[in-house]
Amino acid sequence: MTQPLLELDHVGVVLANLERGRRAYAQLGFNLTPRSDHAGARVAGGQVEPWGSGNHCAMLRDGYLEVMGITDPDKYSSALDMVAKYQGLHIIALGCADADKAYAAIRARGGEVEAPHALERDAAFGPDGREKRRAAFRNIYVDRARVTEARFIIIEHRTRDVLWQPHLLEHPNGALAMRDAFLCVPDPAATAEKFGPLFGSNWRQQEFGCLRLALARGSLWLMSEAAWQKWAPGAAVPLPGSPVGFGVQVRDLASTRRLLLANGVTVQDGHCGGIWVGPQQAAGAVAYFFDA
């Protein structure tokens, strides 16, 4: 069975305080959706129930950024154990067209994944946000005991029209697409080999010893801490073997820089012609911006 086509669907920053994340990413020039409360099944095939977490999303023409936070610590949420480790970038979601086919293909390749879970959340609909519609997904979760480098999800969107609404796709910073997910790991080559059955084996060597996997859309990057310091000097790594940043393609990088500076954001020149914002202002992640 062939490996299904996967694309970089979204990345997720997870925080104890959802409002803190909303403010941070609004300051970075993202047009964020109204708060949406989560509901889901704890186990494959289980009943969908309200969870104690919610999110705001920056919907891009290709992919999106999720800002997740705890809303009720007394209720179950997949966010609780992530926040207990650190606050910052945790989730890397790869999109697929059919969760059942993707699950079968990955299992046939030796990937350790759970059967698809149903997940839902209410989302504001329409330019005035007065209407509510249910956004539905089917998520495949990677074995978290073995693959600790990120909270990886393979996601099938069942209600794309509810999420990618036209009025949500324009951002003051000119963001167009989720381009990259950066992971800092002790041994990039060994990690790439481990990830092969899950995501594909066509990793390519890049400068500073980084490895890059080109997906159907977007890329995954693996780099040592020394290599990450070339990309984002001085940016802390939350844990050895963890996501550290993401890259967004923008309409015009010069305009993005001006917007960030006008909003009081510290902007640094980065690698591959990009600019970046550090974890203190991007809620625990490094946010990279690249010219289209």
Write the pLDDT tens digit of every residue in 208-266: 999 999 999 999 999 999 999 999 999 999 999 999 999 999 999 999 999 999 999 99
- Please state the domain extents for the chain: 7-168, 175-291
pLDDT tens-digit readout, 207-219: 999 999 999 999 9
CA 81/CA 145 separation, integer angstroms? 13
Q: Same CATH topology for 7-168 and 175-291?
A: yes
Tell me the pLDDT of the chain averaged across its residues: 94
Position 1 confidence tier, pLDDT thresholds 50, 70, 90: very low
- The least confident of 19-28, 74-83, 180-189, 280-289 is 74-83
What is the pairing mode between strands 219-223 and 175-184? parallel
> Per CATH, the architecture of 175-291 is what?
Roll (3.10)
| Paired sense of beta strands 36-40 and 117-125, if any | antiparallel
End-to-end CA distance of the chain: 35
Can you identify the CATH homologous superfamily of domain 7-168? 2,3-Dihydroxybiphenyl 1,2-Dioxygenase, domain 1 (3.10.180.10)
Statement: residue 4 has pLDDT above 80: no
Comparing CA positions, the residue from 41, 22, 53 lying closest to residue 114 is 41
In angstroms, the CA 110 to CA 99 distance is: 16
